Structures are given as structure tokens and as C-alpha cells.
Amino acid sequence: MAGLGIAGSALPLETVITIINFGALIGFIMVNLSVIMHYYVKLKRRGFSNVVKFLVLPGLGLITCTILLYNLTAEAKLVGIVWLTIGVIYAALTTNFFRKTPRSLTMLEDMNGEG
């Protein structure tokens, strides 16, 4: 990680910021999608206020973040996708292709007495 940090410090600040924005926007997209899928689809929360809270507002957030992600530089999208791919491959290899709980999550469960 230190080596990556040192290498990253050689990049222009604008490039680093757009790469960070890629990760943040992916995270926000996933959070909004998770709210829709969990509350609106899985738990079938309906009614006017629930539709607003669990479909309309997260849907607007999802659309906004997707538009912002689309408008990032090609360089930021390429580096972000490569970094995301490396992370998914690493997670797959360290969890026996997602059959085991990741170690850091297991450690948190052990601390809470849930493991």
C-alpha cells in the first residue's frame, strides 16, 4: 500500500481526485441500489411514504451518481475499473471464491461475540 501511495503521489492531483471520485460514486450507487432492493423489492415496503423513501429518493440518487460516474474522465474510469477488478479477484481468492466470510468481517464478528 505504501508503494501505491508513493506512486499515486506522482500523479497530478486532479487525476487522483477523479480516481477517488470513481470509488465514491460506485459506493453511493451500491448503497442506493441496496436500499431499493432490500426495502422496496425484498421487504415489499409500499404505500406513498415508503415508495418515496425506498424507491423515488434512492432512485434519484442512483441516477445522479450514475450520471456523475459517466462524466468522469476515461482515465479515472479505466483506473477505477482495474482497481475494482483487482479487489474482486483478491476477495475471491481469499474467501475461497466467496464461500468463506472475509477475514476482517470474521474479526468484527468475533469482537461482537457473533462468530
3 inside domain? no
Q: Are 53 and 81 part of one and the same domain?
A: no
Band (pLDDT 50/70/90 cuts) for residue 25 is very high
Percent of the chain with pLDDT over 90: 57
Q: Record the pTM.
A: 0.75
- Domain hosting 36: range is 18-72
Decide if 5 is inside a domain. Answer: no
Q: In whole numbers, what is the pLDDT of the chain averaged over residues?
A: 87
- Banded model confidence at residue 28, pLDDT cuts 50, 70, 90: very high
Among 5-9, 19-23, 33-37, 60-64, which stretch is predicted with the lowest mean pLDDT? Answer: 5-9
- Tally the domains of the chain: 2
Q: Are residues 66 and 81 in the same domain?
A: no
In a domain, 10, yes or no: no
**Same-domain check for residues 58 and 93:** no
Q: ∠42-47-52 over CA atoms, to 5°?
A: 80
What DSSP character marks residue 113? T
